[in-house]
Amino acid sequence: MLDIETREYDVVVVGAGGAGLRAAIEASGRGSRVAVLTKSLLGKAHTVMAEGGIAASFGNLDPYDGWETHFYDTMKSGHFINNYRMVELYTKEAPERVLELESWGAVFDRTEDGKIMQRPFGAHSFRRLAHVGDRTGKELIRTLQQKVVTQNVDIFAEVTTTRIFLDRQGRVAGLFAYHRDDGHFVLFKTRAIILATGGWGRMYKPTSNSWECTGDGAAMAFRVGAELQDMEMVQFHPTGMVWPPGVRGILVTEGVRGEGGLLYNAEGERFMLRYDPEKKELSSRDVVARSIYREVKAGRGTPHGGAWLDITHKGPEYIKRKLPGMYEQFKKLADVDITKERFEVAPTVHYTMGGLRVHPELAATNVPGLYAAGETACGLHGANRLGGNSLGDLLVFGRRAGMAAHEYVQNLASLPEVDEAEVRDEMRRVLRPFEVEGGENPYLIHEALQTIMSTYAGIERSGPELEKGLAELEELKARAERMSVDGPLHFNPGWHTVFEVQSMLLLAEAIFRGALERKESRGAHWRTDYPEELPEYGRVNFVQTYEDGRYHIRPEPVPEMPPELARLFEAGVAPGVLRARQAQNGREETK
Amino acid sequence: MAETVTLWVYRGDQHGGEEKPYEVPLMPGMVVLDAVHWIQAHLAPDLAVRWNCKAAHCGSCSAEVNGRPRLLCKTRLDEFVKEGVPVHVRPMKTFPIIKDLVTDVSWNYRVMRQIPPFQPREPAPFTLYQRDVDRVQEFRRCIECFLCQDVCHVLREHHEQEHYFGPRFMARLAELEMHPMDAGDRVGFIRETAGVGWCNITHCCAEVCPEAIEITNNAIIPLKERVADRYWDPIRGLFRRFQKTAP
Ligand SMILES: Cc1cc2nc3c(=O)[nH]c(=O)nc-3n(C[C@H](O)[C@H](O)[C@H](O)COP(=O)(O)OP(=O)(O)OC[C@H]3O[C@@H](n4cnc5c(N)ncnc54)[C@H](O)[C@@H]3O)c2cc1C
Ligand code: SF4
Ligand code: SF4
Ligand code: FES
């Protein structure tokens, strides 16, 4: 018998961001016994930081919007390597999921006629993002949190998972975790696991991500045989804060541009008119980020290496009402009054489009009983995520994962067994950093990793640079074998960092391997040695597996759209935009 | 040599502890949390601190800087350097310490579970106007940093956690009570279980709130009025109840 805390559930959800909470609500609502595990306190997950809004095609302001147009925008911005079926489900279901939030107590900003307000955002054809000022993520997570505490769900806050256990038949059987407060271990025996652990933006610097975004879930799953896809696709948000140094990377919501903010280079030129004359500042993120990067490289950057963002022309009252958080953030942290002054912005790592390859309807990975939803999963966003499409993703696929995991548990013939020897191994592994003497400092290994990733696998990539980065990563991995920590088991952040660094190192290599394999430029992936987008690469996703310490990569065909969906692209403009134009013309003719 | 600043950081746990000095290189615009991170990376890897967003969105990094409850990620160091005063960083006093700057705030989560949830009067989509939701949105700005709970003397000095939910949850209750689409009735609960009567309107909570929520004026006083109406002035109470349920 093992002498550690042991718990038993039908479904264990790892992660209490939007995806995890939505999944837990669904699975427990259907009758599964559910636990939610989170590295931080309830309501603090990375999701809380989301600002701009949730994309859902209500058409409250623009009646020609609809799911087909949202579908069109999402596929197009993803450069057509998205899983079309996920995009279809997502764009059809998002409005329902947002209304569900309203009925659970969320209070969105309103239109004049009393409906949910929608704001414009980069590369969305219409005003589409339901929002609450610039704190939409908080509204979403608070609403789900307030819902989940009324259901019969056990919440394990500040509990970190380090390993997934499978039974002899390769099915999910359990999880190993420890309590951060006092360091004691827990074994969760469970029939199904839903990973909702978010992305891995902390691998880079600057980054807009919270400390939690270290890819633990994807890494744990990869180690037990789950497949990763599109790992080369890392989103740089065009506008992070630049100055002072302490705030570098903190997000400046796209809402600033959505509400009318304009970008200028050091010479006072509105350069987006040159890079994308049609969508200008509201072009997709990959395009705007690259444009700022190019301006800086060409010597037209601001004093601290960015571009100017200016919204002063909207007037103080409007700015304070629509962007209160931004106003506060700049005033407090940078001594800048954005109602009076322009400010510096530069690209910051923001989102990881790649992740666990899942079944589009069931959110199931290739490992029986293992599900994934939210940023840690892959398929919806393709080569570039549209703003507002993540929060919707969490709701739509969180719910679907909860449903599917519940179904799976119902149909499970026998209870999977955890092998005790594996649990003992994991206990030893987790304690090892205390035994290594005078080893490497995990914080400094993390910093070194951030430098490697930002230098060699950043916004601009090339074959030779990627090779160099990969070689440096291998050296760092060797050093990281000897990470060591001192002090007690209880609330010891140095020790906690060890596992996060291990997760990031594992996934970092997959990013390099994916980036080397994709010999073209597409969406967020820009290779100077292959600057063109190539049709043959538009037909594949790169899928990676991990066996005995080795990475295997293979191309998988992108699922082909059925004719009724493919037809949406024939006109070369979004269906809703076309309808709006026709209506406009009709009106003009009758005049 | 770069300019440095000395931070006195509390190190200890439930068995006791003391403030220890750490010298940290100063960077422009640095916040206390940056300094704590620098200490972790270079001097004391096991120094415990909570944080998530470093942008004043999540409410994790609550502590006391020179005796005042604050968010570490929103407290600039130059504030103190300019004045030439030493910087003392300690955990919130109202909650039991876990280690260093981290306290056990689980009581708040137990309170949260007791609050009767939103009960929609009709299925969404709702027709609601901005002016009807402004007040509710003010309360929903809360980042659950629990700094107001930390400062409230009913909890901090008198330890009335058994009887009073504290300002954070008064704001939450007010948000539900003032939601135009909510059909619940929590007045009895607010009086009996949540203990609104314990608050004696000192306004300290509103003063420390990083989201500038007018907790006392906009939440607690109106809740007290509802309770008073119901229990001491039944006719006005009925009238209010009627107003609330009328479409
Ligand atoms: C500043 C900012 C603004 C944004 N704005 C928008 C926006 O306006 N619209 C939009 O659509 N998207 C936005 N995004 C993106 C979006 O917020 C995220 O992609 C999304 O919130 C991710 O949610 P998630 O549920 O997948 O995971 P997260 O919210 O990242 O949650 C992950 C959870 O997993 C837990 N976890 C991780 N590892 C472990 C482990 N080992 N053990 C136990 N628990 C673990 C964490 O504790 C956490 O609870 C924004 C992102 C940022 C950074
Ligand atoms: S006003 Fe009331 S709730 Fe606020 S600190 Fe004073 S006693 Fe506590
Ligand atoms: S009301 Fe203000 S001080 Fe209290 S928890 Fe919320 S944000 Fe913090
Ligand atoms: S770290 Fe999120 S509020 Fe300070």
Whether B246 has its CB under 8 Å from any CB of chain A: the answer is: no
Please say if the pLDDT value at position B240 is more than 90.
no
Q: Are residues A171 and A298 in the same domain?
A: no
A334 in a domain, yes or no? yes
- Tell me the pLDDT tens digit for each residue of A228-241: 999 999 999 999 99
Q: Are residues A59 and A198 in the same domain?
A: yes
Q: Where are chain B's structural domains?
A: 4-103, 106-234
Whether B11 has its CB under 8 Å from any CB of chain A: the answer is: no
Please say if the pLDDT value at position A420 is more than 60.
yes
Closest ligand to C-alpha of residue B166 is: 2
A567 in a domain, yes or no? no
- Over pLDDT 70: what percentage of chain B? 94
pLDDT bin (cut points 50, 70, 90) of residue B246 is: very low
- Tell me the pLDDT tens digit for each residue of B6-57: 999 999 999 999 999 999 999 989 999 999 999 999 999 999 999 999 999 9
Task: Return the CATH fold of B106-234.
Answer: Fumarate Reductase Iron-sulfur Protein; Chain B, domain 2 (1.10.1060)
Name the active-site residue from A237, A400, A522, A527.
Answer: A237
Q: Are residues A172 and A205 in the same domain?
A: yes
Mean pLDDT rounded to a whole number for chain A: 96
- Tell if the CB–CB gap between A494 and B49 is shorter than 8 Å: no
Q: Are residues A188 and A252 in the same domain?
A: no
By the 10 Å C-beta count (0-12 exposed, 13-18 middle, 19+ buried), A591 is classed as exposed
Give the range of the structural domain holding residue A132, as residue numbers without chain letter. Answer: 5-233+353-410
Tell me the residue length of chain B.
247
Whether the Cβ atoms of residue A379 and residue A82 lie closer than 8 Å to each other: yes
- Tell me the pLDDT tens digit for each residue of A193-213: 999 999 999 999 999 999 999
pLDDT bin (cut points 50, 70, 90) of residue A586 is: confident
Q: Are residues A308 and A382 in the same domain?
A: no
A269 in a domain, yes or no? yes
> Interface pTM (ipTM) of the complex?
0.94
Among A356, A281, A331, which residue's Cα sits nearest to residue A541?
A: A356
Per CATH, is B4-103 categorized as 3.10.20.30? yes
The residue with tokens 């027709």 is: B127
Number of domains in chain A: 2
- Tell me the pLDDT tens digit for each residue of B148-160: 999 999 999 999 9
* Average pLDDT rounded to a whole number, residues A518-534: 97
Q: What is the CATH number of the domain that holds A274?
A: 3.90.700.10
Model pLDDT, residue B247: 39
Residue A479 annotated in active site: no
Distance from the alpha carbon of residue A516 to the mean position of ligand 4, in angstroms: 37
Q: Are residues A204 and A229 in the same domain?
A: yes
Q: Are residues A339 and A378 in the same domain?
A: no
Residue A237 annotated in active site: yes
Q: Looking at the partner chain, which of A40, A335, A444 has a beta carbon nearest the beta carbon of B41?
A: A444
A254 in a domain, yes or no? yes
From B34, B36, B37, B54, give the residue whose CB has the most ligand 4 atoms within 8 Å, as the site to mutate: B54
Measured between CA atoms, how close is B21 to chain A, in angstroms? 18
Cα dist. A188→A251, B30, B81 in Å?
A: 36, 41, 49
A31 in a domain, yes or no? yes
Strand (E) or helix (H) holding A6: strand A5-14
Interface contacts (A, B; CB < 8 Å): 172
Please say if the pLDDT value at position A311 is more than 50.
yes
Measured between CA atoms, how close is A110 to chain B, in angstroms? 5
* Average pLDDT rounded to a whole number, residues A529-550: 97
Please say if the pLDDT value at position A302 is more than 80.
yes
Contact B136 CB / ligand 4 (< 6 Å): no
Q: Are residues A124 and A28 in the same domain?
A: yes
Distance from the alpha carbon of residue B121 to the mean position of ligand 2, in angstroms: 32
Measured between CA atoms, how close is B65 to chain A, in angstroms? 17
A297 in a domain, yes or no? yes
Please say if the pLDDT value at position B168 is more than 80.
yes
B100: closest chain A residue by CA: A491
The torsion of the CA quartet A362, A365, A371, A373, rounded to 10 degrees, works out to: -80
Chain A residues near residue B49 by CB distance under 8 angstroms: 493
* Average pLDDT rounded to a whole number, residues A310-314: 97
Chain B interface mutation, best of A58, A97, A110, A436, highest count of B Cβ atoms under 10 Å: A110
Domain end point (choices A307, A327, A347):
A347
Strand order in the sheet with B87-90: B16-25, B4-13, B87-90, B62-65, B68-71
CA–CA dist A175, A190 (Å, integer) = 8
Q: Are residues A74 and A171 in the same domain?
A: yes
Contact B149 CB / ligand 2 (< 6 Å): no
A418 in a domain, yes or no? no
Model pLDDT, residue B243: 58
pLDDT bin (cut points 50, 70, 90) of residue A85 is: very high
* Average pLDDT rounded to a whole number, residues B81-105: 96
Q: Looking at the partner chain, which of A137, A245, A485 has a beta carbon nearest the beta carbon of B27?
A: A245
Q: Are residues A127 and A146 in the same domain?
A: yes
Q: What is the CATH number of the domain that holds A398?
A: 3.50.50.60
Please say if the pLDDT value at position A543 is more than 50.
yes
- Tell if the CB–CB gap between A246 and B29 is shorter than 8 Å: yes
Contact B98 CB / ligand 4 (< 6 Å): no
A11 in a domain, yes or no? yes
CA–CA dist A409, B208 (Å, integer) = 47
| Model pTM score | 0.96
Q: Are residues A157 and A187 in the same domain?
A: yes
